[in-house]
């Protein structure tokens, strides 16, 4: 892999200016088979921010991430990375500009963890930045908390450990655009927080981070912006405190919710509205009236 990337002549990208558009979707449509999964997406990921893609299953989050990564072709519209259409970049040049964490990581051979992480440095082979390989690998492994099992074969790891090693590989790549698809799905509470703290650190260092999340609490706590996807379109895009609104989320998720401010930080907390008999330890006379209409949620949105 290293020899493959080292062959061609590539342009090493400069560090992006604060707020620079590192990924853009312009009237993006994507079809998978006969189904139009994305229908007219307009979205920009900028240097220095964490952008969370949220929404229900099947809304198009992973498809959008795949299109931004140039892994899925647009049926119409355009995707740009670092100001140019993705088709204008060679694969080695694109690998210097964006790194991608898929939903699941699998390897056919029992590579040691450290070697898997080192694979993230392959795009820099033959460039002056290849000299930083060992430091980049060590830093990425420490950030993902996988240093302790550096010599273990990847195939012997638990699901959560594999997810963290895959994240370390992406971090070692040090591309200015990080595209992460559900990086917290297999992780415990501590490591979920760790991943989002790493996202914030990368944004603070000037990178653009686009992350698919199902946990709205994590998105509200760590993202600068959230794009709420629904039926292949963006239903709302903006700071979580503005777009995480109970009527919108109840409609999108087909589940009545309340949005409450965190008592200390003020960040939105999204809480499902549950029937009284689903609340452990609560007797019927203690239960609030949770009918959608009386919870401030129009009945049509709770269907």
CA gap 294, 116 in Å, rounded: 53
Pair type for strands 21-32 and 35-46: antiparallel
Per-residue pLDDT, 13: 86
Per-residue pLDDT, 245: 96
CA gap 276, 273 in Å, rounded: 9
> What's the predicted TM-score (pTM) here?
0.87
Per-residue pLDDT, 108: 73
Which domains are seen in the chain, by residue range?
2-213 (3.40.50.300), 239-303 (no CATH)
135-161 confidence digits (pLDDT tens): 999 999 999 999 999 999 999 999 999
Closest CA to 116 of 183, 185, 167: 167
CA gap 157, 168 in Å, rounded: 14
CB 120 within 8 A of CB 145: no
Ramachandran region of residue 219, left (φ > 0), alpha (ψ -120 to 50) or beta? alpha
CB 187 within 8 A of CB 159: no
Per-residue pLDDT, 298: 41
CA gap 191, 77 in Å, rounded: 37
Per-residue pLDDT, 289: 47
Return the residue matching tokens 């074969």. Answer: 153
Token pair listed for 51: 């952008």
Below-70 pLDDT ranges, the chain:
1-9, 276-303
Exposed (0-12), middle (13-18) or buried (19+): which is 131, by Cβ within 10 Å? exposed
Per-residue pLDDT, 253: 97
Per-residue pLDDT, 145: 98
- 4 CB-near residues (< 8 Å, 6+ apart): 92, 122
Closest CA to 298 of 250, 226, 244, 243: 250
- The SS3 of residue 116 is helix
Alpha-helix residue ranges (DSSP H) falling in 133-186: 133-143, 159-173
């Amino acid at each position: 892999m290293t020899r493959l990337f080292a062959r061609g002549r590539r342009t090493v990208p400069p560090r992006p200016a604060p707020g620079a558009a590192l990924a853009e979707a312009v009237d993006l449509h994507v079809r998978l088979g006969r189904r139009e999964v994305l229908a007219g997406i307009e979205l920009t990921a900028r240097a220095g921010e964490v952008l969370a893609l949220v929404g229900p299953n099947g809304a198009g989050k992973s498809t959008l991430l795949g299109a931004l990564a140039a892994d899925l072709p647009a049926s119409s519209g355009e995707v740009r990375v670092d100001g140019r259409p993705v088709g204008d970049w060679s694969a080695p040049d694109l690998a210097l500009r964006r790194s991608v964490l898929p939903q699941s990581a699998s390897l056919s051979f029992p590579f040691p963890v450290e070697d898997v992480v080192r694979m993230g440095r392959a795009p820099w082979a033959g460039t002056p930045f290849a000299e930083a390989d060992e430091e980049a690998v060590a830093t990425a492994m420490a950030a993902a908390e996988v240093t302790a099992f550096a010599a273990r074969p990847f195939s012997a790891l638990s699901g959560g450990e594999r997810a963290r090693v895959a994240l370390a590989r992406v971090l070692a790549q040090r591309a200015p655009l990080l595209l992460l698809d559900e990086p917290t799905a297999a992780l415990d509470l501590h490591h979920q927080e760790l991943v989002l703290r790493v996202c914030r650190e990368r944004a603070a260092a000037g990178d653009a981070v686009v992350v698919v999340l199902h946990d709205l609490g994590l998105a509200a706590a760590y993202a600068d912006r959230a794009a709420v996807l629904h039926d292949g379109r963006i239903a709302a895009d903006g700071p979580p405190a503005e777009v995480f609104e109970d009527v919108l989320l109840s409609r999108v998720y087909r589940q009545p919710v309340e949005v409450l401010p965190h008592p200390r930080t003020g960040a939105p907390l999204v809480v499902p509205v549950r029937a009284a008999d689903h609340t452990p330890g609560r007797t019927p006379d203690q239960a609030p009236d949770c009918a959608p209409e009386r919870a401030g949620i129009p009945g049509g949105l709770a269907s």
